């Protein structure tokens, strides 16, 4: 919105709410911190509340990344090229089987572009939904047919370990991939923010529109 026309619209005002703007989590946290600062210094809970807010702020997403699908035909062509030109997964037998075709820099660059928090160096975790300076790329499936960038997830260190356990459950993975493949274009395009895939009762994976659309197209092509 042009400030030349409308002037500066300040948060927490009636016009801000009337125009349909949402308070970011940063704005909300700032408001809470302001309220805590107004508590008397002899309040026994003041320091505990302040520390709790600092801990929460460290892993609170200021806005999950949004990557919309602008052209479905182009996305499908791009996904097909990803599959066709991807290197086959190769292992070399030494003392143990070593995967020699893996290119971490390639899929990490892809994931960073897809899940980098705007105006920060932090990355959003798809599973716990926190934001972190460092992340790990975990492959979506237990076995990949080729080294395909979109078939990786952007996860924090803790969630990587959690997802490895989930991924080893073939029945659970079948449910997850079926949930992705059953989405239609309208389900993806109409989402205002992230696309949610239920992992279990307590865990939900968040995907950008573009990422899940590419995953869906590739899964359909490799069937």
DSSP conformation letters of 23-69 = --HHHHHHHHHHHHHTS-TT-TTHHHHHHHHHHHHHT--SS------
pLDDT of residue 202: 86
Mean pLDDT along residues 158-165? 93
Q: Of 40-54, 109-123, 150-164, where does mean pLDDT reach its minimum?
A: 40-54
pLDDT of residue 99: 44
Q: pLDDT, tens digit, for every residue of 17-68?
A: 444 544 445 555 566 666 777 777 777 776 666 666 555 554 555 678 888 8
Mean pLDDT along residues 193-200? 91
Displacement of CA 164 from its chain's centroid (Å): 17
Q: Is the pLDDT of residue 91 over 60?
A: no
Q: With a threshold of 0.85, does the pTM exceed it?
A: no
């Amino acid at each position: 919105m042009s400030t030349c026309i409308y002037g500066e619209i300040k948060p927490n005002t009636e016009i801000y709410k009337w125009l349909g703007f949402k308070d970011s989590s940063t704005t909300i946290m700032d408001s809470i911190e302001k309220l805590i600062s107004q508590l008397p210094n002899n309040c026994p809970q003041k320091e505990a509340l302040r520390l709790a807010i600092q801990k929460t702020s460290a892993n609170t997403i200021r806005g999950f990344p949004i990557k919309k699908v602008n052209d479905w035909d182009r996305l499908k062509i791009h996904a097909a090229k990803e599959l066709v030109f991807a290197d086959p997964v190769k292992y070399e037998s030494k003392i143990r089987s070593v995967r020699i075709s893996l290119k971490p820099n390639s899929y990490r660059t892809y994931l960073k572009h897809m899940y980098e928090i705007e105006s920060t160096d932090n990355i959003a975790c798809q599973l716990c939904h926190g934001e972190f300076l460092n992340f790990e790329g975990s492959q979506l499936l237990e076995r990949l047919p080729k080294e395909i960038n979109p078939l990786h997830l952007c996860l924090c260190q803790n969630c990587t370990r959690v997802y490895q356990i989930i991924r080893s459950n073939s029945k659970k993975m079948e449910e997850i991939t079926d949930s992705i493949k059953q989405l239609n274009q309208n389900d993806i395009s109409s989402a205002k923010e992230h696309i949610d895939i239920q992992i279990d009762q307590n865990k939900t994976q968040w995907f950008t529109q573009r990422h899940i659309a590419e995953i869906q197209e590739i899964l359909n092509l490799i069937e």
